[in-house]
């Protein structure tokens, strides 16, 4: 598969390499990551390095997960976007480190990632899931054209919580 590379007005989305482990570690330690995606907290650089190595190996297959770093034009690693397989189909995920939030980076990354990853995966729909109290993530999905299809109790990160489930469809 051809290397993924997306360039937007302010961002670059590309593939991980092992030199990014320290940034992945640092970006994972903020309180928002601990609150909303605790399974993506890397307490050590070595933990992050092992995960980056695993993710780079996934680029060679077609089953995922497909996780890509989001960089600023000045090459600062500020987060990631991802497509992960679930029992219901593919799900979008994203996280921008707290230091970089409230700048529209997540919306910009997701809007530009969705068409390319859906084409690569050969799918016409993708889901988004977030905790109900993660208002910023709900806004990102809504701003990217996702439709709310469920709001209520559900599994989130291995716990029962109030969730919002969204869907995005390409109309052919």
Cα separation values, 123 from 35, 39, 85, 155, Å? 31, 26, 12, 24
* CB contact at 8 A, 56 and 18: yes
Q: Is residue 113 part of a domain?
A: yes
Q: What pTM did the predictor assign?
A: 0.92
Q: Cα separation of 105 and 165, whole Å?
A: 21
Q: Is residue 30 part of a domain?
A: yes
Q: Does 37 have pLDDT greater than 80?
A: no
Contacts of 57 (CB under 8 A, 6+ apart): none
Q: Is residue 112 part of a domain?
A: yes
Condensed to tens digits (0 to 9), the pLDDT of residues 117-152 reads 999 999 999 999 999 999 999 999 999 999 999 999
Cα separation values, 42 from 15, 22, 26, 34, 38, Å? 19, 10, 8, 10, 9
Q: Is residue 167 part of a domain?
A: no
Characterize the bridge pairing of strands 147-156 and 125-131.
unpaired
Q: Is residue 108 part of a domain?
A: yes
What's the mean pLDDT in 60-70? 94
Indicate the number of domains in the chain: 1
Cα separation values, 51 from 18, 43, 145, Å? 10, 12, 30
Q: Is residue 38 part of a domain?
A: yes
Q: Is residue 81 part of a domain?
A: yes
Q: Does 35 have pLDDT greater than 80?
A: no
Task: Give kind and range of the element (H or E) at residue 36.
Answer: helix 31-36
Q: Is residue 144 part of a domain?
A: no
Q: What mean pLDDT is reported for the chain?
A: 92
What's the mean pLDDT in 56-82? 95
Which range marks the domain in which residue 38 is found? 6-124
Q: Residue 19 maps to which CATH number? A: 3.40.630.30
Q: Does 33 have pLDDT greater than 80?
A: no
pLDDT band for position 59 (cuts 50, 70, 90): very high
């Amino acid at each position: 598969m051809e290397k993924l590379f997306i360039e937007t007005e302010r961002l670059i989305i590309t593939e991980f390499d092992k030199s990014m482990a320290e940034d992945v570690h640092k970006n994972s330690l903020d309180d928002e990551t601990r609150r909303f995606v605790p399974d993506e907290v890397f307490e050590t650089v070595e933990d992050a390095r092992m995960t980056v190595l695993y993710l780079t190996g996934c680029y060679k297959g077609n089953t995922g997960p497909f996780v890509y770093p989001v960089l600023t034009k000045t090459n600062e690693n500020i987060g990631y976007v991802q497509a992960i397989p679930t029992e219901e189909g593919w799900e979008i995920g994203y996280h921008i480190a707290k230091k970089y939030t409230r700048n529209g980076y997540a919306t910009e990354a997701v809007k530009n990632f969705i068409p390319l990853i859906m084409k690569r995966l050969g799918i016409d729909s993708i889901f988004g899931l977030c905790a109900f109290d993660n208002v910023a993530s709900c806004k990102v999905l809504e701003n990217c054209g996702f439709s709310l299809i469920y709001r209520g109790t559900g599994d989130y990160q291995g716990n029962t919580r109030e969730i919002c489930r969204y869907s995005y469809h390409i109309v052919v």
